């Protein structure tokens, strides 16, 4: 046996050299198992990094039969300005909320909602409003730091009582043509969730 600091006199035979793959396979299997058990594959529109507020009564619901869900993401300061705070995103469309100074964001949002309404199944409003309401749940997934007014204004746009050219209530609105969305979910998490 060759001691420390002494070169082995036995010549290296490269033909016989084999790498022991067992430790590597052990590690790779462990990593594979970890990712399979701990990770969740993202299949929905909740891919944006948004820190939603905590609430105690929150739950995970299954949508009723025949209903669909549309997610409106609203950014806060989690993204450090990219996209800017208060940006509204549906799918790949971004809208900027700037109140009365620039209502174009809300017009874009309304245009998408109109298209969702037209495709959805409808039911009669149980209240005597005469409206046909869509079987769609709108989920507002707003960052904890989003300005309250943005969520508030989205709710106004959903109930469609606004004339977006002057941001005033519509005059003489016909309930039959009002594309209202009244079923709303707010994305949140339980305080004890990691």
Partner 1 sequence: MAEAADDRIAEGKLDLVPMIDCIMLLLLFFILTTKFTSEEKTISSLLPTDKGQAATKQKTVEPPQQVSICIYPAGLQKGGQPSQYFAQLHEMQPAAINVIPKAWIRIGSADPIELDGSMLHTKNSEQMQTSVNMVHQYIKENLAKFEVGNAADRKAQAPITIQCFSGMSWMFALVAYDACRGYEGGITGRKSTGKPTDFDDAREVDFAPPRIRDYSAKELGEELFEIVNAK
Residue with the two structure tokens 């939603």: 52
- Residue placing its CB nearer to partner 1 in the complex, 7 or 62: 62
194 touches partner 1 (CB under 8 A): yes
Asked whether 70 and 137 are in contact (CB, 8 A), the reply is yes
Residue with the two structure tokens 């800017």: 84
Q: How far apart are CA 179 and CA 54, in angstroms?
A: 31
Query: Which DSSP state fits 7?
Result: -
CB of 139 to partner 1, least distance (A): 6
- Using the contact rule CB under 8 A, the part of the chain among 1-9, 70-78, 105-113, 114-122 near partner 1 is 70-78
* Touching partner 1, residues 5-34 (CB under 8 A): 21, 24-25, 28-29, 31-32
Query: Which DSSP state fits 57?
Result: S
* Touching partner 1, residues 149-188 (CB under 8 A): 149-153, 155-156, 158-161, 167, 169-173, 175, 178, 180-188
Q: How far apart are CA 68 and CA 163, in angstroms?
A: 26
* Touching partner 1, residues 37-66 (CB under 8 A): 38-42, 46-47, 49, 51-64
- Residue placing its CB nearer to partner 1 in the complex, 91 or 175: 175
128 touches partner 1 (CB under 8 A): yes
**Around Cβ 128, how many Cβ atoms within 10 Å?**
7
- Residue placing its CB nearer to partner 1 in the complex, 29 or 122: 29
Q: Reduced to 3 states, what is the DSSP secondary structure of residue 109?
A: helix
Q: Reduced to 3 states, what is the DSSP secondary structure of residue 94?
A: strand
CB of 92 to partner 1, least distance (A): 19
Cα Rg of the chain (Å, integer): 28
* Touching partner 1, residues 88-107 (CB under 8 A): 99-101
Question: Which residues are CB-contacts of 166 (< 8 A; sequence separation ≥ 6)?
Answer: none
- Residue placing its CB nearer to partner 1 in the complex, 1 or 192: 192
142 touches partner 1 (CB under 8 A): yes
145 touches partner 1 (CB under 8 A): yes
């Amino acid at each position: 046996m060759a001691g420390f600091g002494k070169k082995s006199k036995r010549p290296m035979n490269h033909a016989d050299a084999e790498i022991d793959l067992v430790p590597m396979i052990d590690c790779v299997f462990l990593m594979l198992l970890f990712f399979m058990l701990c990770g969740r594959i993202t299949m929905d529109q909740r891919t944006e990094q948004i820190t939603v507020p905590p609430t105690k009564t929150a739950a995970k619901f299954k949508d009723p039969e025949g209903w669909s869900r549309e997610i409106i993401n609203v950014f806060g300061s989690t993204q450090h300005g990219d996209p800017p705070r208060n940006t509204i995103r549906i799918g790949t469309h971004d809208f900027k909320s700037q109140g009365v100074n620039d209502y174009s964001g809300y017009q874009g949002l309304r245009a998408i909602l109109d298209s969702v309404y037209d495709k959805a199944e409808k039911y009669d409003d149980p209240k005597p409003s005469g409206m046909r309401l869509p079987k769609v749940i709108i989920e507002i997934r707003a960052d904890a730091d989003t300005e309250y007014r943005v969520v508030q204004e989205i709710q106004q746009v959903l109930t469609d009582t606004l004339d977006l050219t002057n941001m005033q209530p519509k005059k003489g609105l016909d309930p039959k043509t009002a594309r209202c969305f009244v079923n709303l979910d707010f994305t949140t998490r339980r305080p004890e969730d990691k």
